[in-house]
A and B are shown apart, each in its own frame.
Chain A
Amino acid sequence: MSATTAPRVRRMRLSLSKQQALTGYAFILPWFIGFLIFLAYPLFQSLWLSFNNMENLVNFQLKYIGAANYIEAFLIDAQFVPMLITVIRNQIIDIPLILMFSLFTAIVVNQKLPGQGFFRAIFFLPVVIGSGLVVQQLFGQFNADPNQSGPLVRGIDVPTMVLVLGPEAAQAIFDLMNRLSLVLWRTGVQILLFIAGLQGISSTLYEAARVDGATEWEKFWKITLPMISPIILLNAIYTIVDSFTDVFNPILNYIRGLAFAGQFRMGYAAALGWVYFVVVFLLMLVVFWIGQRHTFYAGER
């Protein structure tokens, strides 16, 4: 009796889990189709394209030229490598600035004070208007006159006192201040994530610390910062990704110019795209590696 029912039960169970797996695949199927058509295929295609020269634009006829595009990018093109270095250097400056500013703003705005909702609404304005061409207008880069700096750069005045530090240091400070006003406009999502994270910290931790007589300063370093560290990492990665499509990203405009505006050097532009991808990916791995070492996950022991 039991010998006959046992296999049937097992078969039932097997088909059930299979059924569940099939349902699971069905749910993610739309994404998978999209992934294959709009990401995987173009990604491999662009890798192949980067080793080719496009001979004919009408039927996209290719001619294999080996690593010539990559050699050109590093050895012949006088613009690309400096541009890449600038982008990476700016990223390295921007990420800590954005993270510190947005964490600071989130902590300040998270205080239970009247009118706090009003300030939150203001701090989120950049997400509504900050991602488009309008900001470029405001920063004056879109003006016919490239030397004219936009009103935002005038927003933060640097006291001329810094000149006593010597021209090098003064220039560095001026650059930093100019970047700062630009960078602050890219913090909306980050501030919001930090606010949500701060609200997720259990109040018992703060109460326990208060009972033990911890100061606010100590509470910040021993509770807030460790608890919020996963979001710092999340925000760092988000900031890098966000900068890909930033209107100020020179690589974006350079590649577009090469591929679509007049020159139609598709193969070469694809090679530059890949160099950019690899470099940015390495940067992300470094950020992730540093982040992982300093990130505290509450669930772990």
Chain B
Amino acid sequence: MSGTLAIYRRELKAYFDTPIAAIFIAILVGLLSYFLFKDSLFFVRERAEMRIFFRQIPAVLMVFAPVITMRLWADEYRVGTAEILGSLPISTRSLVLGKYLAALTVLAAALVCTIGVPISIARLGEPDWGPIIGGYIGSFLLGSFFIALGCWTSSLSENQVISMLIAVLVGVIFTFILTPRLAAVIAGESATLARAVEGLGVTSHFDSIERGVLALRDVSYFLLGTLFFLTLNAFQVESRRV
């Protein structure tokens, strides 16, 4: 546990000592606010809600979560600091967990920084808080999923850019290919395959949480997905010893 904490503190400090976290937070807040307010729909519809805001979240996190995670392992392997990490009495699981939690914290900080959006909306009208809270929970869970994915791809290469591109590629599959829309297209061919496509993609699960329905099925999807990628991450780190 002390090992996880030591890694977590170091990584978090590295994020906030360098401009990475600040740039990430600024981009995320700026981009999402832009979609919400510049897109005149918000004012045209004159509804105090954040649907437009949360609708952009999967695509935005898919691209920007790997920006946070890409250096986590790739840099350790490139500089060689992984060798010293490997000589410390810290299990691979603790290393993986410490790094993942640090990246997740940056993402959570970014989400907290968008708090101005619901506050503004509350001043403009009477929002329905259920979908807004659901949207934040969904964004956090989705973020955790993409962060874990990014942690894993970061351990695949010594090159940060390559690791980021792999993460985005896998993210595209989960976000834009395994969608309810594709499921509807292939439903006629095979209902089982359609269910699998819809169940494996992030969209259907995120949408239902974002609607304010916190179903165990959707929450466990994101948690299991996170666990899956972190396990791949740990395997990859271990396999580097061979």
Partners in one complex: no
